[in-house]
Amino acid sequence: MTIRSTLSRLAVALLVLAGANQALAAGKCERLVATGNPDQPPYLWRDPQNPQQLVGASADLLKELGKALGVKVEVIYAGKRASAEADALNGRVDLLAGSYLTPARLEQFDFIHPAYLEVPVQVWAHRDRAPLFTQLADLARHRGLVVAAGNLPEPLAQQAAEQFKLQRSTQASEALQQLWLGKVDYLLLERHSGAALVERLGMAADLQPLEPALGSEPLFLALSHNSACNDPWLRGKLARKMTEFRTAGLPQTLLQRNLERWKAQRPETVTP
């Protein structure tokens, strides 16, 4: 056997091995399981037709990522926010959708950059009381309410609670009900979730978000450190496709589509 023949066979063997490794990486996880906060419309909420599944803008984006990567993505209901995060932490699910980046979470998740949406947080008030709030300092002189962490970025929720001594609520719909009934003067709530819930609860004629927004936080897709699927290939592919989708405006398109989808569902009614 000549040296040239030996080198040629070695080169072919290396190419086959590289191809096999790439196929193994790509096929290591043919299925990814994701979850998130189920009380976060229009980003995520339980599917009325299949309550064990989550639907919404984040779920649709995950499905598009799966198609692009050739991987099946299932977005499941894993309980309320705390339970969903626990399942992601221990690796029972691979991905946590709609996550805010914090130093503590960086030790538990790989955050896929870029963020897929910016979440604006606004002051919500009765339309006839809106003139009371012309500057930030006005909030300290009135009764306020903030939804507990999970519906607001945690740092902003904590800062607002400390600065304005706000009451806390665990559910956005309950918080809006208190505002509507006049039990508080204003509410700190994310714009799109607020708009979806206000429309759904039949409060749009009475409640409004005040401009400008109090602040905004990026919303990320997070891959658990304990996921068996967490490897450089997957992280790289997710980041590349997320960049492409963000550039093309896909997350915003899905957000608007799911705002309409949420509104089209049978509305809840609230009685004073």
SS3 assignment for 215-248? EEEEEEEEEECCCCCCCHHHHHHHHHHHHHHHHH
Task: Identify the DSSP state of 90.
Answer: T
**Fold (CATH) for 23-118+219-264:** D-Maltodextrin-Binding Protein; domain 2 (3.40.190)
> Is 84 a residue whose pLDDT tops 80?
yes
Six-digit token string for 94? 């691979």
Number of Cα atoms under 13 Å in the Cβ half of residue 39: 19
Confidence of residue 5 (pLDDT cuts 50, 70, 90): low
The full set of domain ranges for the chain reads 23-118+219-264, 119-217
Query: Which secondary structure element, helix H or strand E, spans residue 215, and what is its range?
Result: strand 207-224
Summarised one tens digit per residue, pLDDT across range 160-213 is 767 777 888 878 889 999 999 999 999 988 888 898 889 888 999 999 999 888
**Confidence at residue 44, expressed as pLDDT on a 0 to 100 scale:** 94
Summarised one tens digit per residue, pLDDT across range 214-247 is 888 899 999 999 999 999 999 999 999 999 999 9
Summarised one tens digit per residue, pLDDT across range 20-46 is 344 444 446 899 999 999 988 899 999
Confidence of residue 96 (pLDDT cuts 50, 70, 90): very high
| Chain centroid to CA 266 | 23
Residues 6+ apart with CB under 8 A from 110: 222, 223, 225, 230, 235
Task: Identify the DSSP state of 116.
Answer: E
Q: How many CB atoms lie within 10 A of CB 141?
A: 11
Task: Identify the DSSP state of 95.
Answer: E
Q: What is the CA radius of gyration of the chain?
A: 23
Confidence of residue 267 (pLDDT cuts 50, 70, 90): low
**Fold (CATH) for 119-217:** D-Maltodextrin-Binding Protein; domain 2 (3.40.190)
Enter the pTM of the model: 0.81
As a whole number of angstroms, the distance between CA 94 and CA 114 comes to: 18
Angle at 62 between CA 172 and CA 119, to 5 degrees: 40
CA–CA distances in Å: residue 217 to residues 118, 121, 214 = 6, 8, 10
Angle at 147 between CA 142 and CA 153, to 5 degrees: 110
| Chain centroid to CA 267 | 23
Average pLDDT over residues 87-115: 93
Classify the C-alpha dihedral 218-140-209-263 as positive or negative.
Answer: positive
Residues 6+ apart with CB under 8 A from 62: 34, 73, 75, 95, 97, 221
Residues 6+ apart with CB under 8 A from 252: 117
Residues in the chain, how many?
272
Summarised one tens digit per residue, pLDDT across range 116-168 is 999 888 899 999 988 888 887 888 889 999 876 555 666 666 777 677 778 88
Q: How many CB atoms lie within 10 A of CB 206?
A: 14
**Confidence at residue 196, expressed as pLDDT on a 0 to 100 scale:** 87
- For the beta sheet containing 50-55, the strands, ordered from the edge strand earlier in sequence to the opposite edge, are 39-40, 44-47, 50-55
Evaluate whether 23-118+219-264 and 119-217 have a shared fold: yes
